Structure 1
Amino acid sequence: MPVVLSIIGQKGGVGKSTLARAVAVVATQGNLRVKLIDLDIGQQTSVRWSTTRASSRALKTIDAEAFSAVGEALKQVHDVDLIVVDTPGYLSPETFEVARASDLIILPTGSGTDDLHPTTLLLYELEHIGIPKDRLCVALCRVLDAKEERGARRYLESTGYPALNGSLPERLGYRRAHNGGKSVTETTESSLNERANELMASVLRKILQHVRAANRLHSAH
């Protein structure tokens, strides 16, 4: 069975598609079979990004497809190791269906209180509906400086949901990479790639932890 990793949040513009694309790229480069699911059937930004990427012979193709519901996607996607679900920029009943169907959930957030507070509320709500806490991760995105990041990390630690290692600063280089069908790990600036790769390493460690736990459970039975 593939690992299902979903990127969800309270609103748009906090880095959901950015993280979904980066995870898909890094996992593909690691020779995993990956499917990127775009649940924003209206905009389909991740699908359009993958089409742009496919036009470059220098980049590994990312298989992306739009679906209206996660249940439909999971029924139709086969023969992959990892499913990355990019959700719309708003909450809906489908958001919680995605969460229930996921092995891991990443909530991207900006580092200001306008983003941190609703992210924390969503974390509590997800735990309340039965999502185990160890499946929930927070990723800091669009960070402006080190002081702001330290403050955001302290805030999240106080809520019991410490952020993943690494963060994504607010940089034009990331936007330019996306425009060319690349991810935030594939910019023309090595310092930006290093920042993104640190965060991606944290995500991949979470995926591996889940796979190992699932394998131990399977062996026990």
Structure 2
Amino acid sequence: MFYECAHHPAQFVYKLMTSTVTPRPIAWVSTKSLEGVVNVAPYSFFNVMGSEPATVALGLLRDPERGLKDTAENIQATGEFVVNLVPFDAAEKMNQTSVNAPHGVSEMELAGLTPAASSLIRPPRLAEAPVSFECKLHCAVMTGPKQMIAIGQVLAIHIADRFLIDPERGYVDTPKLDLVARMHGGGWYRHGGELFHMDRPVYHAPEE
């Protein structure tokens, strides 16, 4: 089947994309408004985009009623945000922060989350997250009406000690993080699952 995106409603295209690009890591983003209200929300249009400098990207879709979501507004206004990763034991709290709360209401309080002070920026980290990236906005690209890609430079990385195998060498016990990923449809996630490994090939020029 061939689908030309321009000939289909946005929600139809969204369904095709989220049903095929899986699993997707979840950025549990905490921001702080100029008024001091902490906003927390999960986003699965997210990934790392570079390491020199360390870079992440967030796809922030529009709110059907308000336009720009609080996360996007706060990032634009302050240039700061924290990407927290979601462990399985905090999945329910993450889901609670996806609620369509009114502007000015803190999802941090609604979900009973524990703030942890960041080191270099104002928005707090989430103590429930095993990994947090403190980020400053590199640039924001408006890709549609009230739809934004936020590219952030990672200033600092927090990893809970219990998930480190060798802190000095940066060895992380990745399976132990037990992170949740977004899947297809409404409310589907992935946790665990079988792993397999393939070595990356090295090119050898053919012998003459």
TM-score by length of structure 2 reads 0.27
TM-score by length of 1: 0.26
Which structure carries more strand by proportion? 2
Higher helix share: 1
